[in-house]
Amino acid sequence: MADLISKYRWPLLFALAGLLIAILLMTVGFFKTLLILLFTCLGAVIGYYVEQTGLLENVFSSKK
């Protein structure tokens, strides 16, 4: 099973993402789904920025 998952990792990941988007579109509607996707992407960008700059590590290490 792990062999199958490692071989088809990206198709499975995008299939799950497509399923999630389809469920969101059917339950909350188009514009709310776009808003959820926008906030998700914004959160990923902010998280990437914080990780690359070490911003939170500097904040938490100065309180010791």
Predicted structure pTM score: 0.72
- The string of pLDDT tens digits covering residues 16-49 is 999 999 999 999 999 999 999 999 999 999 999 9
Q: How far apart are CA 55 and CA 64, in angstroms?
A: 16
- The string of pLDDT tens digits covering residues 46-60 is 999 998 998 888 777
- Measured over the CA atoms of residue 43, residue 49, residue 54 and residue 58, the dihedral's sign is negative
Q: How confident is the model at residue 4 (pLDDT cuts 50, 70, 90)?
A: confident
Q: How confident is the model at residue 64 (pLDDT cuts 50, 70, 90)?
A: low
Residue with tokens 């902010």: 46
Average the pLDDT over 1-10 and give the result.
88
Q: How far apart are CA 4 and CA 56, in angstroms?
A: 37
